[in-house]
Amino acid sequence: MRKLTMSVAAILLLATACQKHDSNQTEPEEIASEIGERKCASHEILQQQIAQDPERATRMQEIENFTERYLQTARNNSTSAATLTIPVVVHVVYNTSAQNISTAQVQSQIAVLNEDFNMTNADNSLVPSHFAGVKASVNINFVLDTIIRVATKKRSFGTNEDIKRSSRGGSDPVDPSNYLNMWSGNLSNGLLGYAQFPGGPAATDGVVILYNAFGSKAKNPSGTYTPNYDLGRTATHEVGHWMNLRHIWGDATCGNDFCGDTPVHNTSNGGCPPADHRSTCSGTPLEMWMNYMDYTYDRCMYMFTTNQSQRMNAVFAAGGPRNSFAN
């Protein structure tokens, strides 16, 4: 039944994508307004890829099987994975000078990733005591390699991947098997960002972030930021997907995020919920809305869990889909 539901959803998404397909046309100018709830299109894009290429689903299942075996071994072996360093290429695709974010703003984003993935973020101390036992470092470092600046005639980009194509007003990725490619640009429809899960096409591999949600106002106050999404957590969330993390609610009512140490959530949380906010799913657990893989404001997300850390490290392990980064 679940499979059937997924297929229907995938067809609907594909139909929507087809209606919107007119990628050469300049999209209407985005009116700058405050963004409401976090919007991330990673799951929808995965469903589109599966609808267009049934082998994508097979590859995702193979990656999931591999990850499950890795987690089994990790449970029986207390030693954590060695720290990995990921070189990053940032594509700044801009139509206005405000969108041409500064090098300092880009660097502030790299600094946030390094803190969040190594649990050195100051707000990690806010993790409530009932989750203190499962909060975890991922032990992954990020190093800025190159910034590529591309002036574009496009006023905004949707999820059709034009931002990743030089021929469509975007910027082609650089060697995705050895670099994490991050695109900063103006995104339409209030979208904050999206990532490609492991196992997808090289031509579109990486993460895309709205230019004024890229970087941290706390580290680089002179940059360009949008309220509530101004601490660089959109990139933390999207890089989490790029390393195979699912949304904490499993993109379904009381869904599965393949992590045993995250509580079951009804759906996404927005804003900054109260600490005692409970799920109405089985067992009515306290929800982990402060997890980077929820939809809360940047200032209200500050942890990954042990299982999430293991899933991300599995991606880079021998036999994992991004093992090329470890060599």
308: contact with Zn ion by CB under 5 A: no
For residue 68, what is the DSSP state? H
Decide: 64 and 321 in contact? Cβ < 8 Å: no
Q: Which residue is nearest to Zn ion (CB)?
A: 40
Catalytic residue at 37? no
From 27, 115, 161, 238, the catalytic residue: 238
Contact segment (CB under 5 A) with Zn ion among 36-44, 146-154, 261-269, 305-313 equals 36-44
Gyration radius of the chain over CA positions: 19
Residues 6+ apart with CB under 8 A from 323: 316, 317
Decide: 222 and 197 in contact? Cβ < 8 Å: no
CA atoms of 42 and 53, how far apart (whole Å) = 16
CA-based nearest residue to 322, from 175, 112, 177 = 177
Cβ 159 to Zn ion, closest distance in Å? 12
Q: Among 13, 35, 39, 42, indicate the residue that binds Zn ion (CB under 5 A).
A: 42
Q: Which is nearer to Zn ion, 250 or 321 (CB)?
A: 250
213: contact with Zn ion by CB under 5 A: no
Q: Which is nearer to Zn ion, 40 or 89 (CB)?
A: 40
CA atoms of 7 and 138, how far apart (whole Å) = 33
Cβ 209 to Zn ion, closest distance in Å? 11
CA atoms of 145 and 178, how far apart (whole Å) = 11
CA atoms of 168 and 24, how far apart (whole Å) = 7
267: contact with Zn ion by CB under 5 A: no
Residues in contact with Zn ion, counted by CB under 5 A, come to a total of 2
Cβ 308 to Zn ion, closest distance in Å? 13
191: contact with Zn ion by CB under 5 A: no
Which value, to the nearest 10 degrees, does the dihedral of the CA atoms of residues 59, 141, 302, 112 take?
-120
Decide: 270 and 38 in contact? Cβ < 8 Å: yes
Contact segment (CB under 5 A) with Zn ion among 38-46, 48-56, 115-123, 223-231 equals 38-46
Q: Which is nearer to Zn ion, 220 or 228 (CB)?
A: 228
Q: Which is nearer to Zn ion, 169 or 193 (CB)?
A: 193
Q: How many CB atoms lie within 10 A of CB 36?
A: 10
40: contact with Zn ion by CB under 5 A: yes
Residue 132 token pair = 């203190």
Cβ 240 to Zn ion, closest distance in Å? 8
312: contact with Zn ion by CB under 5 A: no
Cβ 37 to Zn ion, closest distance in Å? 12
Residues that bind Zn ion in the complex, under the rule CB under 5 A:
40, 42
Residues taking part in catalysis: 238
